[in-house]
Amino acid sequence: MYIEPLMHAIILTTDNAALDLLAEVDAELQEQADEETTDVFVSVKELREFTKTIDELQVVFLTVIMCVLAVERLVNNRGTRLTLVDGFMQPHLKAYGRKLERMDQSRKDARVFKITVWDPKQRSVVRPRFQVGVIYELKKIHGLKFYHDILQGSVQAVGPTNPGIIKEYQDFETAKRARADQPDAAGPDENAGENDREELTP
């Protein structure tokens, strides 16, 4: 079949564009995998220092392995706000919590990380439950920012089609071993960041 030269050129151009786009996506997937094996934090202090180095508009997904100090439902009932402390402080959580309560608010704020876990988009999917004193590994955290010196972030809870975003562990050492034994590189959720239009407040 005869194809006019112009049409032939268009076909070649679109084929090349498709190959270029596939290569770009492969590169981004590799970059994403690299981030997920390096951007893992167990310390609030280290996470705060890292956040200060990134651009405000830069899209960053990271993982934390931390201990829950406090749990509260959002007023709009669309998510849960967790107050997290360093994962290795789990054995000392009660004593640590009491000391934090005695601190001035500004000093206390610098030692916790507040994260909003948005409920799954599908109402039929059971939302995650959290317990004080438990270690959680939370992946795909985004929207990092400081609000009155409190470091905050978000994560979108998902359904069974993309499990593993939130994992619960009995203790910090178990979480570390699991992370070392089974590193993964799941891609970011397509809805990540959608809820960030709502301002996070402490």
The tens digit of pLDDT for each residue in 8-64 reads 566 667 777 778 787 887 777 776 665 555 589 999 999 999 999 988 767 788 999
Domain ranges of the chain: 1-38, 40-197
Query: Domain 40-197's class?
Result: mainly beta
Residue pLDDT, tens place only, 140-181: 999 999 998 999 999 988 765 556 789 999 999 999 888 887
- What whole-number percentage of the chain has pLDDT above 70? 75
pLDDT at 182 over 70: no
pTM above 0.75, yes or no: no
Query: 21 vs 123, which has greater pLDDT?
Result: 21
What's the 3-state SS for the chain? CCCCHHHHHHHHHHHHHHHHHHHHHHHHHHHHHHHHHHCEECCHHHHHHHHHHCCCCCCCCEEEEEEEEEEEECCCCCEEEEEEEEHHHHHHHHHHHHHHHHCCHHHHHCCCEEEEEECCCCCCCCCCCCCCCCEEEEEEEEEEEEECCEEEEEEECCCCCCCCCEEEECCHHHHHHHHHHCCCCCCCCCCCCHHHHCCCCC
